[in-house]
């Protein structure tokens, strides 16, 4: 630290001399340039200096061990003498110390920071970089944790986007151009001294793919079965004949029930688009609803030259049978295989959560997501509509929720918009801002109903509620000025509450006061409109997810809460949950929440009555007690949905490398194969095959055996959007992992080990027999083949971006050898030359880049899509 202090003194001395000389320098005596000109010309560069910095200062912003050292470099092509400017920028972990003598960086709220000049700053010299070193809390593992879109504000409060930091200004790999490439030269981005998870390299990926080849050579997939494999895989699929069914003449629909035909209209329309339905055809497609099936989602499908027969337990089963027909159809050859399928889901709840609160992805994204979920037999859309950074659903009785809460820009007073968190920029009417009108929401509900998908709205409370808190404060202030007697009827905070807290995302003002009657009046008002919209759409609101995130330290100085405590209330979160559950129950709606909040509802806490029905969403990692919590919540009769981050959080990177987009708090990588290998039927067994956040082995002792396995009703994939700024990025994070998750939600494979109550597992515990291991390899291989040869080409042709695997590259005998996942081709590019097909090892060079490529050609209309899944750049990226 002494060397650091000395360098500061040197900088101070140099700064003083520079300031003195500036008084005589004609270069710095020029007139100040307009802010717009400065913002357009200012070159900002971010450089990570030390990902694991040794001298971390004490700060209340440090919520966990560790810190890192970075540098911002600011350069103008001209001299600029003004000092009364400020730069605002976001990064997911807070700055805790700035080391420049004349410039300072201050954490404001959430991820927003302010860079400004101190007294004595002498301005910019032309083409002379100003370098600001600073220390940030925690760690950084991905360039996507630096959102970009820095804003410059001048003394007149005019705000301009600094062009060099624009998120639209990226390099070939999609990384913002202002970020200098991270390197692996500093302890491989280790999270802490105990970290054993190395950063992925071209060589490590090569070895990984080589292992693939060897494993699958030892357990080859059945060629015919692979050709006709569906995703998700049916419970039973039997070939009736090796001769395919010619579909040129199409099929005539035989369906006597007009209501059922209307309910199946979206699937029948897809068959019409593929020219499979032709009224004049003499070959029937019969659909019948019958008793005797295990559920309404089960079906039997028989395809023969004489026609297609579908029997199902209900509308959903018939719908899924038609999806299977579409999945089996070979459009190029106009044929279907002759097969018998008997099928039904492993779990009744097969969900996908999507966060449109942090960054609004738009109505079209949601409609497309519903369509893709239905294609892969997923049936629950958990729509996260409100959080700290935004409120995304119109509530007519409370227009401020979207007038303020759906907009972000630079307005520190937050009367026009919320703070520009997550690099939102300064255009409050442009994405990632926005909201769903009530008509938009009705359209989504109608589309979901037509595709057998239930919509579960969620407005996170009482924590993660900053957008609502600020909007209702603005409403109260406006009504108070109008001398309305009802000005405080929906207020969510107390003016006299002096509680000092900091949320997990570094907010100090984001929590609803659970002790105020006005908070429940607010909840009741919002629920009334949600219930009304669902009724109008013919999709009653049966389940509402309240979030139940809490913020440590909130309400400690609240007079209203103290009054409740004095009256004997010992658990304020339990008070909130039971009171909210009563509001829901009165409207015929069941309570759902994240599992950690629901710990306050466990019996024996206090005298508050428990809700009659609860759905608990388990969001602990497998290595951090997920099995224990799932069993504890299922055994008393609660419904349980598994939403484990290390199995289902699709904002986690595909690969542990700083070049892969993603958040890293729960897991530093989640490959498609890891999703495929998930074992929800036997959570303790995951310790035998997975590792924790730091790449370490762990143990699970099944201390509370599962007594009510049917109470674990399903699985949920989760997409949070802190590091996902737009729909294209969202699709790349979802696809192809969503397909593997759909497989695990629907199909229980032969290789999955059954649950054994009370058994403990640790790394390399006996789990799969030799036969099961071969079954797994064959199953994974057939899934890959189906994925790359049929599903991904179809997704790309539909205009949906898909993340292709990174390429593994290793130098062997003086040549670069490349491998990728089976079923894909490899292309390479040298310098700025056109991409070429990789066919043999290449001479080493620093300017060669590799990427995976699908084998099936895309239709001409899709060839203009951006390239996805760019691999490493040998010599620079790794």
Cα separation values, 820 from 229, 431, 787, 810, 870, Å: 22, 35, 14, 12, 12
SS3 270: helix
> Taking Cα atoms as reference points, which of 842, 843, 848, 839 lies closest to residue 871?
848
Q: Is it true that domain 236-343 has CATH number 3.30.390.50?
A: no
Distance of alpha carbon 715 from alpha carbon 729, whole angstroms: 23
Comparing 2-11, 550-559, 607-616, 777-786, which segment has the lowest mean pLDDT?
2-11
Q: How many CB atoms lie within 10 A of CB 306?
A: 11
SS3 441: helix
Cis peptide before 332 (omega within 30 of 0): no
State the burial class of residue 477 (Cβ atoms within 10 Å of its Cβ: 0-12, 13-18, 19+).
middle
| Whole-number pLDDT of residue 604 | 52
Distance of alpha carbon 200 from alpha carbon 383, whole angstroms: 33
Structure tokens, 487: 């000005």
Structure tokens, 411: 């307005």
Confidence of residue 870 (pLDDT cuts 50, 70, 90): very low
| Whole-number pLDDT of residue 16 | 37
Where is 98: in which H helix or E strand? strand 95-98
Distance of alpha carbon 135 from alpha carbon 423, whole angstroms: 20
Q: Encode 501-516: b = buried (16+ Cβ within 10 Å), e = exposed.
A: bbbebbbbbbbbbbbb
Helix, strand, coil tally for the chain in percent (to 5): 30, 20, 45
Res 220 pLDDT > 90: no
* Residue 777 Ramachandran class (φ > 0 left, ψ -120 to 50 alpha, else beta): alpha
Contact 715, 378 (CB under 8 A): no
| Whole-number pLDDT of residue 11 | 31
Comparing 13-17, 290-294, 519-523, 736-740, which segment has the lowest mean pLDDT?
13-17
Q: Is it true that domain 2-189 has CATH number 1.10.3720.10?
A: no
Distance of alpha carbon 607 from alpha carbon 575, whole angstroms: 10
Confidence of residue 869 (pLDDT cuts 50, 70, 90): very low
Q: What is the mean pLDDT of residues 269-286?
A: 97
* Mean pLDDT across the chain: 91
CATH of 349-398+417-453+512-774, one of 3.60.15.10, 2.60.120.10, 3.20.20.80, 2.40.40.20: 3.20.20.80
CA count, 13 A, side-chain hemisphere, 178: 25
State the burial class of residue 850 (Cβ atoms within 10 Å of its Cβ: 0-12, 13-18, 19+).
buried
Res 556 pLDDT > 90: yes
Within this chain, domains 2-189 and 808-873 share the same CATH topology: yes
Contact 349, 379 (CB under 8 A): yes
Q: What is the mean pLDDT of residues 657-673?
A: 92
Cis peptide before 462 (omega within 30 of 0): yes
| DSSP code, position 330 | B
Per DSSP, what are the bridge partners of residue 761?
700
Domain limits, the chain: 2-189, 236-343, 349-398+417-453+512-774, 808-873
Q: Encode 684-716: b = buried (16+ Cβ within 10 Å), e = exposed.
A: bbbbbbbbbbbbeebebebebebeeeebbbbbb
- For the domain made up of 808-873, the CATH class stated in words is mainly beta
DSSP string, 785-812: HHIIIIIHHHHHHTT----PPPPEEEEE
Confidence of residue 225 (pLDDT cuts 50, 70, 90): low
Distance of alpha carbon 470 from alpha carbon 451, whole angstroms: 36
- List, by residue number, the catalytic residues: 550
DSSP string, 352-407: EEEE-SSS---HHHHHHHHHHHHHTT--EEEEEEEETTEE-B--TT-THHHHTTT-
Q: What is the mean pLDDT of residues 21-25?
A: 38
Max CA distance (Å), the chain: 95
Tell me the angle at which helices 572-586 and 517-536 cross, rounded to the nearest 10 degrees. Answer: 30
Tokens 């700055």 locate to: 95
**pTM of the complete model:** 0.93
Where is 440: in which H helix or E strand? helix 438-450
Cα 715 to its chain centre, rounded Å, is 15
**Alpha-carbon torsion angle 58, 111, 511, 626, nearest 10:** -80
Contact 809, 818 (CB under 8 A): yes
Comparing 605-619, 752-766, 777-791, 854-868, which segment has the lowest mean pLDDT?
854-868
Q: How many CB atoms lie within 10 A of CB 279?
A: 8
User: Residues 50-73: pLDDT tens digits?
Assistant: 988 989 999 999 988 889 999 999
Cα separation values, 347 from 224, 383, 617, 681, 711, Å: 28, 20, 15, 10, 10
> Taking Cα atoms as reference points, which of 632, 585, 629 lies closest to residue 609?
585
Res 28 pLDDT > 60: no
Q: What is the mean pLDDT of residues 573-596?
A: 96
User: Residues 762-771: pLDDT tens digits?
Assistant: 998 999 999 9
Contact 548, 598 (CB under 8 A): yes
Distance of alpha carbon 656 from alpha carbon 668, whole angstroms: 5
Res 317 pLDDT > 90: yes
Q: How many CB atoms lie within 10 A of CB 399?
A: 12
Res 864 pLDDT > 50: no
Percent of the chain predicted with pLDDT > 70: 90
In degrees and rounded to multiples of 5, residue 276 shows phi and psi of -90, -20
Length of the chain: 878
User: Residues 108-127: pLDDT tens digits?
Assistant: 999 999 999 999 999 999 99
Res 2 pLDDT > 50: no
User: Residues 255-265: pLDDT tens digits?
Assistant: 989 999 999 99
**88 contacts: CB under 8 Å, gap ≥ 6:** 108, 112, 113, 114, 115, 150, 151, 153, 410, 420
Distance of alpha carbon 581 from alpha carbon 585, whole angstroms: 6
Distance of alpha carbon 836 from alpha carbon 816, whole angstroms: 15
């Amino acid at each position: 630290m002494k060397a650091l202090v000395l360098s500061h003194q040197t900088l101070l001395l140099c700064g003083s001399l520079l300031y003195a000389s500036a008084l005589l320098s004609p270069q710095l005596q020029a007139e100040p340039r307009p802010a717009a000109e400065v913002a357009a010309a200012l070159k900002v560069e971010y450089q990570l200096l030390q990902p694991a910095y040794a001298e971390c200062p004490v700060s209340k912003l440090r919520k966990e061990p560790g810190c890192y050292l970075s540098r911002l470099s600011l350069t103008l092509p001209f001299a600029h003498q003004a000092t009364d400017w400020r730069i605002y920028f976001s990064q997911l972990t807070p700055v805790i110390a700035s080391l420049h003598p004349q410039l300072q960086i201050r954490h404001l709220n959430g991820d927003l920071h302010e860079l400004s000049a101190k007294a004595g700053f002498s301005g910019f010299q032309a083409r002379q970089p100003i370098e600001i070193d600073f220390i940030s809390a925690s760690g950084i593992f991905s360039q996507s944790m630096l959102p970009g879109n820095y804003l410059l504000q001048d003394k007149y409060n005019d705000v301009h986007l600094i062009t060099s930091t624009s998120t639209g200004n990226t390099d070939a790999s999609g990384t913002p151009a202002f970020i200098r490439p991270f390197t692996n030269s500093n302890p491989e981005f280790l999270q802490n001294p105990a970290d054993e998870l190395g950063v992925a390299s071209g060589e490590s990926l090569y070895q990984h793919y080589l292992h693939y080849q060897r494993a699958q050579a030892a357990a080859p997939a059945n060629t015919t079965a692979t050709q006709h494999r569906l995703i998700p895989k049916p419970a039973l699929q039997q070939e009736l004949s090796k001769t395919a069914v010619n579909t040129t003449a199409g099929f005539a629909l035989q369906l006597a029930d007009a209501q059922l035909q209307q309910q199946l209209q979206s699937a029948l329309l897809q068959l019409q688009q593929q020219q499979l339905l032709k009224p004049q055809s003499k070959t029937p497609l019969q659909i019948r609803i019958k008793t005797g099936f295990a559920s309404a989602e089960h079906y039997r499908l028989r395809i023969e030259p004489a026609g297609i027969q579908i029997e199902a337990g209900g509308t959903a089963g018939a719908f899924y049978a038609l999806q299977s027909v579409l999945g089996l159809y070979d459009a190029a050859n106009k044929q279907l295989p002759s097969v018998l399928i008997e099928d039904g889901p492993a779990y009744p709840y097969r969900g996908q959560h999507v966060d449109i609160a942090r960054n609004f992805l738009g109505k079209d994204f949601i409609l497309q997501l519903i369509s893709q979920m239905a294609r892969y037999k997923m049936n629950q859309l958990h729509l996260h509509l409100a959080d700290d950074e935004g409120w995304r659903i119109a509530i007519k009785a409370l227009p401020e929720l979207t007038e303020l809460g759906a907009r972000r820009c630079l307005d520190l007073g937050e009367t026009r918009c919320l703070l520009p968190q997550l690099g939102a920029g300064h255009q409050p009417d442009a994405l990632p801002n926005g909201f769903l009108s009530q008509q938009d929401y009705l359209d989504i509900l109608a589309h979901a109903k037509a595709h057998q998908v239930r919509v579960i709205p969620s407005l996170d409370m009482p924590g993660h509620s900053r957008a609502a808190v600020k909007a209702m404060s603005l409403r109260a202030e406006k009504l108070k000025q109008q001398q309305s007697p009802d000005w405080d009827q929906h207020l969510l905070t107390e003016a006299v509450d002096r509680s000092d807290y900091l949320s997990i995302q570094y907010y100090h003002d984001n929590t609803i006061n659970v002790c105020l009657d006005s908070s429940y009046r607010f909840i009741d008002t919002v629920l009334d409109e949600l219930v009304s919209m669902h009724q109008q759409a013919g999709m009653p609101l049966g389940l509402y997810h309240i979030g139940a995130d809490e913020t440590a330290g909130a309400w400690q100085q609240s007079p209203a809460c103290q009054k409740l405590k004095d009256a004997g209330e010992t658990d304020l979160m339990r008070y909130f949950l039971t009171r909210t559950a009563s509001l829901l129950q009165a409207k015929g709606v069941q309570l759902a929440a994240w599992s950690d909040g629901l710990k306050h509802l466990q019996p024996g806490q206090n005298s508050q009555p428990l809700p009659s029905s609860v759905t608990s969403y388990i969001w602990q990692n497998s290595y951090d007690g997920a099995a224990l919590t799932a069993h504890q919540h299922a055994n008393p009769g609660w419904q349980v949905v598994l939403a484990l981050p290390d199995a289902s959080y699709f904002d986690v990177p595909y690969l542990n490398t700083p070049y892969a987009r993603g958040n890293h708090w729960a897991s530093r990588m989640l490959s498609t194969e890891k999703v495929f290998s998930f074992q929800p039927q036997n959570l303790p067994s995951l310790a035998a095959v997975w590792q924790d956040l730091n790449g370490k082995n762990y143990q699970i002792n099944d201390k509370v055996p599962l007594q009510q396995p049917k109470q674990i009703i399903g699985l949920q994939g989760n997409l949070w959007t802190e590091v996902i700024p737009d729909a294209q990025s969202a699709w790349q994070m979802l696809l192809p992992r969503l397909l593997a998750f759909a497989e695990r939600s629907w199909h229980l494979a032969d290789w999955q080990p059954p649950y054994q109550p009370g058994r403990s597992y640790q790394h390399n515990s006996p789990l799969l027999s030799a036969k099961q291991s071969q079954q797994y390899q064959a199953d994974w291989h057939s899934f890959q083949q189906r994925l790359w040869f049929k599903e991904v080409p179809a997704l790309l042709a539909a205009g949906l971006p898909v993340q292709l695997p990174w390429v593994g590259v290793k130098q062997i005998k003086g040549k670069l050898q490349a491998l990728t996942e089976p079923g894909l081709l490899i292309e390479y590019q040298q310098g700025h030359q056109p991409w070429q097909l990789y066919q043999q090892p290449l001479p080493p060079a620093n300017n060669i880049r590799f990427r995976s490529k699908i084998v099936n050609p895309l239709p001409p209309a899709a060839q203009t899509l951006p390239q996805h899944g760019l691999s490493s750049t040998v010599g620079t990226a790794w």
